[in-house]
Amino acid sequence: PVAEAQLRVVTYNTNTFQDGFVDGVERLARPGVDIALQGIGEELVNGIARPADIILLQEQQRPSTTTQDLVDRLNAIYGDGFYARGFEVGATTGGSGFGQLDGSEIRQAVIYRTDSVQLLAEDAFGSISRPTQPRETLFYQFRPVGYGADADLFIFNSHFEAGDGTGFGDDLFARENEATDIRNYITANNLGNANVNSAEDLKVESN
């Protein structure tokens, strides 16, 4: 891709649900997580400090609850409309999946700066069942503002199954399946020559 720009990409497993339920089952982030994200924006990296352009999140309930709560908090710091979120709701084997909101649901989501990148496309995929993988992987296509298609950035936001095989089942098999699904998605969508990173591996900024 051809682009000359600075982007700060963050991957953050928040694990920050407040104790108990809010509005029945809607789970909001704990107080202070927005301050942590603001601190990331103030950190000097190679002499540059800037608010995060793309924030890839794990352990969100869903975009309309936990993630929107974070968007609202960040916009309270940086200004209305500074940040927006994605809308893709990936399936999960935990909680209610796609059914009624459930406090134990966790899945991935994304927040992005509207003045620096455009979210052009998002998708969810993966073989969701036990013991293949617990959560769908989310795919995002971003374009830096002011650039063309040759600068597009493709990112996979995944939350691989953890453990040594005693919890979910065959955890090693689950992680292999998740990685294979990403590779197959890249091949099926002709992304082999694109600028592709996984949030699990990118770790540009991480908690």
* pLDDT of 174: 79
Angle at 100 between CA 95 and CA 167, to 5 degrees: 5
Provide the 10 A C-beta neighbour count for residue 15: 13
What is the per-residue pLDDT across 27-43, written as a single tens digit (0 to 9) for each?
Answer: 788 888 889 999 999 99
With 0-12 / 13-18 / 19 or more C-beta atoms within 10 angstroms meaning exposed / middle / buried, residue 161 is buried
Placement of tokens 């939350």 in the chain: 159
Binned at pLDDT 50, 70 and 90, residue 147 comes out as very high
Extract the tokens encoding 164.
């040594």
- Report the C-alpha dihedral over residues 84, 138, 203, 4, rounded to 10 degrees: -60
With cut-offs at 50, 70 and 90, classify the pLDDT of residue 121: very high
pLDDT for res 100: 65
What would the mean pLDDT of 56-80 be, rounded to a whole number?
93
What is the length of the chain? 207
Confidence label for 23 from pLDDT (cuts 50, 70 and 90): low
Rounded Cα gap, residues 124 and 60, in angstroms? 15
149-166 confidence digits (pLDDT tens):
989 999 999 988 776 665
